[in-house]
Structure 1
């Protein structure tokens, strides 16, 4: 429900503040695309077990934004809309860029203190991979994420909570599976990954990723 309310609010904001009809049309196009099939970041499955799988992701460009905040603070909504504005025209070319999946949020707990790092990214589709438009917002950057192998499994339902507790619980479950199998992985960071619009109520796809060492 929070996601739906947020979406309606942002549509109202765009409609009220848009400098041109083109920006409003871009937003409407992107929201309409929430009901369509998205282009997905490419990967190959290296290994599949009864409890998790290993995937290999090639190097690709993503558009990202990062914040530091307490673990119990939900910063993802603000990050999402920064990236959403980028793909709906807040870039050097005023270009509308198709929504893709997944939306990833790399979560890195602080070594000391209470603040953690959150880096949310949208995959940039193949049409724009070679030369993506540069963001107009200085808090948004184009990054080439190096090739990596990850461990994950897929779970359904809605993961969003104000304190990120569902993501943390799923992370603990995935770690348990990996430890049982003696896998070597980076415990200093993880990715919270979603594939579905808030309007999809069934067969949702959520994943916690750990990078293979």
Structure 2
């Protein structure tokens, strides 16, 4: 498997991989798409198995039909007419969750998301494509010394509104359906890859912007991801969780 640098990924045209196209892909398009995802995965030191080709094609063709996770904006903090961070409330809801504890953060989230992709695309008790929601959440625990991430990372996919009352059961026993409680968060947008290093920088940057250091959890953070891993410069957010929900 050939390697590709982050600079190479940045040079790719996002539109090549995000069209909402109901027509079946020909074999050349399928191979090109799968090779692209393999190249992205290689930067995370992950290899994509051949059985992921179908879910990758499905999610690529449906990439423009994404349902947002519901939330209410409570406040925005701006500087020079740009939003620096904002506070939101997310209601309770059902999420499909996977916990992985690989050596690297990016390996854990990649392997967890592949499991969720298979669940979303067909490996569920309904036997159908469920639909994509955004963002997908990656919940991080910080070690007691505050210097690194705890290895186990929880990755969560919000069930579309159609399935909130009666979620299809996963065929993969590693996926569990969880009723998550309402959460109030402060969020800040960032773009690009998500590694332990880049996330740690985003956490530090947001702490510097906040006036209070007592209102938010310091041992748990959430990375919210809005584009699939095949998008070179994807939109993410770092979430700080407010205490005493």
Scaled to the shorter chain, the TM-score interval is 0.7 to 0.9
CA drift of 1:100 comes to: 1.2
Q: How many equivalent residue pairs? A: 198
Separation in 2, partners of 1:73, 1:126: 29
Whether the aligned pair in 2 keeps the contact of 1:70 and 1:114 (CA below 8 Å) is no
Matched, 1:97 2:130: yes
Q: Secondary structure at the match of 1:116?
A: coil
The equivalent residue for 2:218 is 187
Structure 1: give runs of 5+ residues left out of the alignment: 16-23
Whether the aligned pair in 1 keeps the contact of 2:143 and 2:219 (CA below 8 Å) is no
Separation in 1, partners of 2:141, 2:121: 28
The equivalent residue for 1:79 is 112
2:235 pairs with one of 191, 205, 209 = 205
Q: Secondary structure at the match of 1:139?
A: coil
CA drift of 1:91 comes to: 1.6
Q: What CA deviation, in whole Å up to 9, does each residue of 1:89-126 have, x standing for no partner?
A: 11223222101100110011233798432000111111
Q: What CA deviation, in whole Å up to 9, does each residue of 1:17-45 have, x standing for no partner?
A: xxxxxxx4x663322112x1411101111
* Higher relative contact order, chain-length normalized (CA < 8 Å, sep 6+): 1
2:59 pairs with one of 30, 34, 38 = 30
Q: Structure 1 residues 40, 176: closer, same or farther in 2, change over 3 A?
A: same
CA drift of 1:182 comes to: 5.2
Separation in 2, partners of 1:95, 1:29: 11
1:172 pairs with one of 204, 216, 220 = 204
Q: Structure 1 residues 75, 133: closer, same or farther in 2, change over 3 A?
A: same
Whether the aligned pair in 1 keeps the contact of 2:40 and 2:229 (CA below 8 Å) is no
Residue correspondence of structure 1 range 61-140 to structure 2 within 5 A: 61-70=94-103, 74-111=107-144, 115-140=150-175
Whether the aligned pair in 1 keeps the contact of 2:120 and 2:130 (CA below 8 Å) is yes
Q: CA RMSD in A?
A: 2.8
Q: Secondary structure at the match of 1:76?
A: helix
Separation in 2, partners of 1:4, 1:193: 20
Structure 2: give runs of 5+ residues left out of the alignment: 1-8, 10-34, 42-46, 79-83
Q: Secondary structure at the match of 2:59?
A: helix
Q: Secondary structure at the match of 1:86?
A: helix
Separation in 2, partners of 1:85, 1:39: 18
